[in-house]
Structure 1
């Protein structure tokens, strides 16, 4: 039988404990912000001593970069896997856009805003942010290329289109911190219309109704 620590928690193999700490750290990063992500705060949430967090993550930089990567990867996986449930390229991009432009995504947008700002002084986080941005662009580019090959999108450079659309989405992050001062519906319509032009779609092609959304979930 596994023993327990002085805090009363069951002892876990090192790999399982590190994974638990990382999961909790990523939740704190999203819900409270990267500036609250300390060994002490994570240890408190997990129910272990801070030294155990320091054992698995040798510095604050390493902990913050790992927590951001975990949260960003989980978010990207959820968004892209949901879009992949439908076969039609236009429907896939529509699902992506609606997920990215929904106000429920504000906590993730604020996480990215935190990460961009903090990465100026944290090299490990800068590497993680760059990797996550490239990964999202590659995945969106793959969806767009599939649409081009099927004649759904009319454009010459899928990579540029993906970068352009994600730059528009990224612009929502500062607005997530100003939600009470921004007409979100107008912003969403503007970004959707611009994405339609980038992809060579007819106006309104990405503006699905809520009924259509429910049939894809």
Structure 2
């Protein structure tokens, strides 16, 4: 087996593991479920990941890496602060990528008992919040935004988004997709001194 093939095989297995875990949850997913979904033997899974816990940790790290890559693209964008804020809100929308949100929500619960998952989850949360704060600070400096407390605003916006993501994914019938998006946009606009139509 060539190194390139092995690396691609691992990526495929991690992607499949994320999909299965998002559907079944960490507590109800067996390595057999992932192996069947990937069309491989359990032996191959253990060849690559050694243990079930290691596979789950690597799968979550893989999903986190994809999200971090998307955040890095927003950070490197040369668009003005308002456009970058819109991009970030869309990327982190409570109604975007249901499979991803189910994985994150389940991982948050598991993180209370698993230090590796907690570290990855915390790194992801800090990165997103730091990027949001930096975008707000840049907008204030350029005169596009009015915000006395960019750090507090970033906490409040993400706290609302995370909370609505839980409501949307666990109790999806309580709020429409449109209403969820409106709540986040309204809160974000208020935090940075914009009209909601600007976001």
TM-score, normalisation: structure 1: 0.75
- Give the C-alpha shift of residue 31 in structure 1: 4.3
- Give the C-alpha shift of residue 198 in structure 1: 1.5
Corresponding position: 1:178 with 2:186:
no
SS of 1:103's partner is coil
* Cα distance change on mapping 1:187 and 1:21 into 2, 3 Å: closer
2:129, 2:155 within 8 Å by CA — same for their partners in 1? yes
* Cα distance change on mapping 1:155 and 1:181 into 2, 3 Å: closer
Which residue is 1:70 aligned to? 62
- The aligned runs of 1:113-132 (5 Å cut-off) are 113-132=105-124
- Give the C-alpha shift of residue 172 in structure 1: 1.7
Q: How many matched pairs?
A: 198
TM-score, normalisation: structure 2: 0.81
Which residue is 1:44 aligned to? 36
RMSD: 2.9
Q: Which runs of 5+ in 1 are unaligned?
A: 3-9, 207-217
- The aligned runs of 1:23-102 (5 Å cut-off) are 23-78=15-70, 81=73, 87-101=79-93
Distance in 1 between the 2:144 and 2:128 partners? 21
1:34, 1:114 within 8 Å by CA — same for their partners in 2? yes
Distance in 2 between the 1:124 and 1:102 partners? 24
- Give the C-alpha shift of residue 85 in structure 1: 5.3
Distance in 1 between the 2:72 and 2:97 partners? 14
- Structure having the higher helix fraction is 2
Distance in 1 between the 2:148 and 2:130 partners? 16
